[in-house]
Structures are given as structure tokens and as C-alpha cells.
Chain A
Amino acid sequence: MNITIDVKETELQTKVRIAGEIDAYTAPKLRETVFPYTERETSNIVVDLSEVSYMDSTGLGVFVGLFKSLNANGGTLQLIGLSERLRRLFDITGLADIMNINSEVEGGV
């Protein structure tokens, strides 16, 4: 039940690499770490989930929260490196239709 979150800021975007499990125990840490970046004006956040082995609905809630906050502040959220299992989670919940997922454009991994 561990998570490592690594945030790298460049001029164009804020890149967040997450490794481990995102569940009820680790979700608060993720929210606290990333949320402040969403409140800046027009911040572009790219989250790399390729090393995430598990995510439950609480984790999903964090991303919806980030997405809403970014939308409100004119920013963008991009999720990359989703495993098939994670991809399914975003598909079922309809979030894949409204979020930018696995598109990996410019400067992706």
C-alpha cells in the first residue's frame, strides 16, 4: 500500500509521475500533492500512470476532482500510460469521454 509521487515543472507543463497503488489510503496524499498545481491559472498537468498497479474508485475521485478544478481555472489535464485495467475503469465511468486519456502527444513518454 505505497505510493510515490514525483512532480516536475517545466515552462509548458507540470508532469506528475505516480508509482504504486492509488486507493483510500494513498488517495489523500495524491490529492494534497497535486491539487495546489490545479489552482494556478492555466496550468497543464500531465499525469503518467504507467507505474500504477492498482486504482480504486477513491483514486478515480481524485482525478475527477483535479479535472474539475483545472476546468474551473482554465487548465488542462492529460493522463498517460494507463494500463488496460485502468483504461477500463475510465471507460466504464464515462470519464474517458470527457478527459484526455492516453493520447500522448508532444513530449509524451
Chain B
Amino acid sequence: MEDIIALLKENVIQGRKTKDDEGVDGDSIGMPGVIELTQLALESNIPPEVIIEEGLTTGMQVVGDKFAAKEYFVPDMLASAEAVSGAQDILKPYLEDSDAMSKGKFAIATVKGDIHDIGKNIVATLLKGAGYEVDDLGINIPPEKIVEYVREYKPDFLGLSALLTTTMLAMGETIEALKENGIRDSVKVLIGGAAVSEEFAQQIGADAYCVDGFHAIKVLEEFQKVKA
């Protein structure tokens, strides 16, 4: 059993979704990838929680470290996240049975006036890989739409993205709109994007500024600790 989990973790790090994938080191084509190993783990009666925590999540942590150290680049990280996401799709039905639900609901949007979605999509992929239920609202989303969404779907976290100095101001407007509607405290607001900063996050009253997707995962873990 430990062998399967260790292999799973290694293949997450390698970014090998299936047996046909090359992986970072490039010498394991034909060997089982994350999808095959996840199935094998289930067949071997390894609990899905163990598969996720010890295989997928620890693997992604290593990927995050390698990314931070500039050993890994964006495509490496996306390959790993896609592999994990594929494994989660397989595990989902088992998880709902055993009531080990997601770490929380994370809604993400690019704010009003801004149509840049590359960074937002990467963050969404990574958070999904980290076990959050991610709802991507899209680009150019006005404050009133976000208020409506938060009221109806009650996400635990709200991620706001903006690339431009012109559009980052809409982040503040969005937070104001949440306040005016009395739902600001129902959701933690995280912001990110090339134009924004820690300082700006404090200015507009966001709960956190995230440099990138891996940083967002760390920030969310801190929130979980505080909650617990």
C-alpha cells in the first residue's frame, strides 16, 4: 500500500496524468500514471482520504516548492495540477459516500472592466487540485453580480483577480458592495494579480493578498487553522 501511495506522489511531482505521459524526467512512458495509480489504490482498498492527503496533496506541495525555487515552471505546475484534478474526478463518488467533503467552496472572478484570465485560471486549477470546490465566475464580473452570487451560493472564499492598475479599483468597489449588502463577513476575500500588492489589499479591506496560486493555498490553510 505504501508503495502505491509513494508512486502516486512521485507521479504527481512528475506531472504524469496517464501512462502515456512523459513526465518531467522523461523516462517513464508506459509506467502507470496518476490516473492508473489512483484506480489501483482504490482497488487495493486504500481509503480515498489517504490517497488524497498522502498521495496527491503531498505531491502538489513538492511541486509548489519546486515552483517557488524556479526549478519548475508554469507548464510543469499545470501538468501536475491536471493530473491531480483527474484523480479527484475518479475519487469524487467515493468521497461523497464517506462524507469527506471538500475543504470549502472557493469562488473566483476577474473583476469589472478586466478581461485577463490567464492568472485566474491557473489559480483556479491549483486550488481545485488542492481540494477546494472551485466555482469560476469568469471575467469582467461587476460587483452586483458578485454580491448576488455570494448571497445565493454562500462560498467560504472569494478570489478577485485584476491585471491592470485601471481595473484593480473594481476590487475595492466589490468589497464595498459586499459591505453595503451586509454580507462582507460571510466570506473571506483574497486578491491577486500583477497590479495589486499587500498594501493595496489592506487599503481596500481584503482579507489577504496572494502572490500566486501556491501562495493562495498557504493562505487558505492559515484560514483553516484559525477556524479550527
A, B bound: no
